[in-house]
Each structure stands twice: as C-alpha cells, then as structure tokens.
Structure 1
Amino acid sequence: MSDVKKVVLAYSGGLDTSVILKWLQETYGCEVVTFTADLGQGEELEPARRKAEMLGIKPENIYVDDLREEFVRDFVFPMFRANAVYEGEYLLGTSIARPLIAKRQIEIARETGADAVCHGATGKGNDQVRFELGYYALEPGIKVIAPWREWDLNSRTKLLDFAEKHQIPIAKDNRGEAPFSVDANLLHISAEGKVLEDPWETAPEYVHTRTTAPEDAPDQPTRVTIDFERGDPVAIDGQKLSPADLLAKLNQLAGDNGIGRLDIVENRFVGMKSRGVYETPGGTILLAAHRAMESITLDREAAHLKDELMPRYAKLIYNGFWWAPEREMLQALIDKSQEHVTGQVRLKLYKGNVIVEGRRSPESLYSQEHVTFEEDTVYDQRDAEGFIKLNALRLRLSGRQK
C-alpha cells in the first residue's frame, strides 16, 4: 500500500478520525480527501470542515454532503418495504447507513482521482465489513486502508497522546473515558460499550436521547394517520412530506410518546455477541403502519412469502451485503409485492406503544360481504366440507398406520 497517492477518508471530525487523518499523512505520505456525510445525525457538521482545514486539507478536498433525502428515499424506505428486522428486534438503523457512505466515498474517489478509501471502524465490529464489502462491490480495484487493523494506537490514552503531540484539538469531554460509543442518523441512534457492556445492568436513563421514558410520556394518546403509496409513506395527517421530513416528523411524534426504545444482545457478523441500546422512534411507527397497510392489500401467500424471505433480507443488510446480487434480487421481489400497498393507516401512540386503530385502501382485498356473520349470498358454507376432506385425506391415510 506504500504507493497510495490520494485517499478518501470517511471523516466525522471527532477524535478517532482526526487522528486517522494525521496518521494517514504521516504513514502513507499521501494526499487526504475528507468526506463528512449528513445523514440526519443531529450534529452541526461545519466544525468538521473547519477542523479538516486546520489539519491541512485543501478546501477543494473537503466534502460535507447532505445525504438525508437520499438516505431515506433510496435506503430506509426500500428496507421498510420488506419489514426488515434482524434477530426479531433490531430495525437495522446503523447497518442501512453504511452502504450509502461507501457509495459516496467511491463516487468522491472517482471525482478526485483517489486510489484508496479509508474508514475509522475497528477490527472488532460489523462496520468494517459493511464499508469494505460496499467499496469492493462498487469499485473492485480500490485500495482500502483500515487504520484500526494496522496501527499501534490501540487505546484511548494512545489516541489522546498522539493528538496532543500533533496539536489536534480534543473536545473536553474526550479527556476522560467516554461512557459509551454512539452512532446516529435520521433513522436511529445506538449506544454500545463501557457502561453498557454488562448485559445484566440496566441502561442509565441518560443513554436515551431521542425518546421520553414511557412512564413520563403524556397521559393522553396521540393519534396519527399515515398515507402510503406503493409501500412507501408519503403523508402524515394528510400533509405530503419529503422522505426525510416525513421520518423526522415520525421521530418527533414517537419520541414524545416514549416509542422506539430497544435493549438487545445481538450476534455480530464477526462472531461475538454485543449489547446495544437503540432508539428507532419513527421507524417503530413505520414498521407497525406498513404491516397494517399490507394486511389488507397483500395476497395471503405473497405476504407469507415476504415474511419467510425477510430474515434472509435483514441478515444481508446487517452483514453488509446491500450491493450483493442476491439482495438486489430480493429487492425486486419485494418491490413487486408493493404495487397495491396504497391507502391509509390510523394509529394511536401511547406510552411506548404503537396501536393500529384503522386501515383502508382503494386496493383492499378485505371483503366485508365475505366475512360477515350475517346472512350473505357470496359464500356457500357447504363448500368447506370438501375443502376440509381433501386436506384431511393424507392425514387419514397416515392415521391408518398408527
């Protein structure tokens, strides 16, 4: 890798990536391009630009891109069409952001003539896999630099010492041990490590930053109606919103009502178990609403097939295979299933709960005249006898053996 001339670094402006920036310049003697993605993490990103300039990066080599609409429209919404949930609980908030970051890094590498890309993920986690699978899928010949797998700065003390030696500004709260590691975007915020490492210990309340504690949520419920078109949400209470604005609105409604908290131990792709405390407020509403919309618009076997394929699809995203052909094949099937998933869902939000109260659709397969308990003229109940006997035939033949 000694022949690296220019590298695109995924840069947050924090301690780790600022150290990485200087380390790249020292170790590889290469030109560095910084890329900071606004995915709705809720932080001011201009300080990252100023810090990169202070560390010697040319203004034309500093990218700070607002990717919020693309993130929700092209990554979050397609994933939610599948009702994707990893290991029964996790809504994949961190996982789904990585392929977009990788995509934009590769685009910037092409624009700037860079021959390498770099990320700040550690050698223990999933993100190193997600980033690098994305890089290689989109640019097979790209060189990848992963400092945490190369350098000897393997502790916070060493990082701080390196930063002081090279006059890299350190936020005051970084002076001591951080209580936990945080990752955030418009879909979710996650916390891992330190005070959360013992899975028996209750997560401190201060870990939660996007949701009110359910017991402190309003005593009166909030009611909301979501409009769907072909599987995607398009309006809240009749107001059309862009994908990013819609998810932000759902985040606010859910957060105020204590919705979207999750405390899990998950299985990382690299093999170890990890405890995480996640908040996915708007996504929790969206999942319940989308399934309700599908309940009256999807054919039974189509819905069941989707449910059978969903764990495979979710695992692909979790493990970093967004750009793999099998994920794209599954997406084509999922998107086909959404052609008639159009209509409205009415929900009640109350103290951590999302309760579906109503659903309607111009494409509905729900037939009240068929299911009524009153007299009808469309269904002959005597037909059920033959249906049952045919389905029972193999059971009766098997029963004779016993």
Structure 2
Amino acid sequence: MLKKLLSSFALALHTVRTRLFHTLLSILGIVIGVGALVTVLSLIDGMEKFAKEQITTTTSLKAVMIETNTYKRVNDVMLKKQEYGYLNYDRFKKFSDAMAIPATGYIEFRKNSEVLLADSSRVGAGVVGVNTIHPAMVKLKAGRLFTTKELAAKTPVAFVNHAFAKQISGKDSAQNVLGQTIPYHNKALKVIGVLKPVPRERPEVYLPVSLLAEDELKADPPRVVFEVDEVEQVQAFKKDAELWLRTNVARDSTDFKVITNEGRVEQAAKGFLLFRVIMGLIVGISVIVGGIGVMNVLLISVTERTVEIGVRKAMGAKKRDILMQFLAESVTVSLFGSFLGLVLGVLATLGIVLIIKALTDVPFQAAYTLDTFLVITIVAIVIGIVFGTYPAMRAAKLNPVEAIRRE
C-alpha cells in the first residue's frame, strides 16, 4: 500500500513538472489565499505576544489581589451591604500566617482626604495606610520608612511623597519636611521620610495601617496583595485564600473577590483567538477559490489523459489505483501552491512589520509559530482531498474501452 502511495506521488510530481506553467497559473488563487492566511496568522500571533509582554511588564502574573465587595445584587439592582467581612491589620497577619504556600503580602488602605497643617492651611491628599510599601515604590529621597516594630506599636509616624512635601515647604522640600507633624483624625503624625519624585504624582501620605480606626476600614475596606514565588502556585494560593476568608472573615460568600492577573492574559488570549478565527474565515474565501483552481487543473488533466487512463485500466489498474493517482496529484498541487503561498506570506509579513515600525514607535514583531505552519499544511491537504475527489472519481469511473476509442 505504501509503495503504491509513493508511486502515485512520484507520478503526480512528474505531471506537475511537465505542465508547470499551466499549473502555476491555475494555483495562483491558492498561492494568494495561503499567503494572506500566513500573513494574518503571523501578525495576530505577533499582536498576542506583544499584548502578553505588555501585561506582564505592567503587572505581575504571580500576584493575587483580595478586595472586599461592599455591594450585593437584589433583582438586578446593586445595593450597599449593611454588614460584610473585611481585613484589618490583625486579620491580615493571621491570614498571612495561615497560608501554606510562601508569599510576600501587603495590606493597603487608600482614601482621599483633606489634611490640616500646623499653619492652618489645608492640603488635599491621598491617605494611604500600609503595613509595608511595594518594593518598586521604595525610592527614598530623605529619611526612612516606618519599621515593623512601629507598625505593631501603632506609633504615629508617616512618610510622604515628593508632591506632598512640595505642598508643605516648596522646592527644597525633602529635608525641611522631616520632623514636621501632620494632624490626621486626632493623631499627630511625625514625618520620618520623603520619597523620590515620580512623573504625574499627586500628594500622598503613608501611615501605618494599624493606626486606622475600625470605622474607617469598614467604610473603605483595604486591599490585600500577595505575590507567590512561582506562577504555577497562583491557583493553589487563590483556592487556599478563598477557603480561609470564607471560613474566618466573610459574612457571606460574596464578601471577597480574589483576583489574579492570569485572568487578564486569558481574556486577551480569548480576544485574539476570536479575531484569529474571524480573519481566518474571511481569508479562507480566497483559499476556497484557490481550491476551485486545483479542481480545474485536475478536470483538464482528466480530459487530456483520457486515453492514458483507459490504457492503464485495460492493463489491470483498478479504480482505487486511478483514484489514488489523481488524489495524490491533487494533494501535490495543493502542497506546492501552499508552499509558494507560505513564502509569499512570510515576505509580505516582513514588509508589513517594516511599515509598522516606520510609522509607529511600537517594538512589534510578527510571530511564526508551529501552529501556523501546521494549519497551512492541513489546509493544503484538505483542499487537495476535497477539491480533488470529484476529478479523481470521474477518472476512476471511465470505461477503458470508451477511453481508448477517444484516440
């Protein structure tokens, strides 16, 4: 069987070579269709890769975020809950200690507030209650951050960002603001540090989250962020976190949302998959037109080789031998056209990428994946079989006596 199959493909290659120019003209449709398909798929793969890189550079895939849901849905109307579970500093410590999977976590309370200064002036600022500050933000210009000991002892200290320091004492703000006090809810917070300036920052004051009253925390529940050591541990940590919160803190099952950034990557992947399918179907129309060209080549071939088919059948060739020969020829022609289309698609993609880079500052690159090449190969084989079946069956059904008499 394998020997007959190889013989059929060898004969098909010989036929393509002897009628090369006619074959090239007839498969022009499939060349253009496959070229367009390669271009679209490689550009979409490049866009997906670029999107994933952007997501992973702006957020950590190892992060697990926990937020309190203070609303409930009743008859499709969102209503504020009267009672709900939330995390304060003590619960956060118990939560962190209870997690079996190692992770670094912090609790963060944010609220916009008006701060009254010693000279009776007022400054609008973001008040941020934390147990620690994210390492990416720790860029001190002067002073220091509060310690774990000060956090546990509820020491009234704070550090501020450069924008807040500038509001207090002008341009030369860092050293001048150290040691000053900031009144906040009957507490006099001593400024112990100033952060380095960052672009487009707004005034912010950072104080130990343990200083905040329960009514403040309940009104604006803090957010908790953990970062596990390995991406593979994210889902297991999420399940453990949901179980602990449901068992120890939550009033009902809707009190907490445990969010991971994997969901953003999955959403992007789904969007690109949908785009890939839609564009593939649109481009597939030209591939079908190319398949009709393949059928045309084979029908002409059957007509021109009627006598040859008759002689072969008279010499003992069976229907399946003739059928296999023409199907092999069809698949060969399709693969040949797809290969030319693949080359055309790669060249077109390289040209498009150069145009994109010339017009934008985006570091975009097309991506050539194994899936794309597998799709092209499968498309070529399917086209060869689908559009070659009718001409092959027509050739196989020829009566040998009638075929020879047409000479």
TM above 0.5 = no
Shorter chain as denominator, the TM-score bin is under 0.3
TM-score by length of 1: 0.19
Structure of higher CA gyration radius: 2
The structure that is helix-richer by fraction is 2
TM-score by length of 2: 0.19
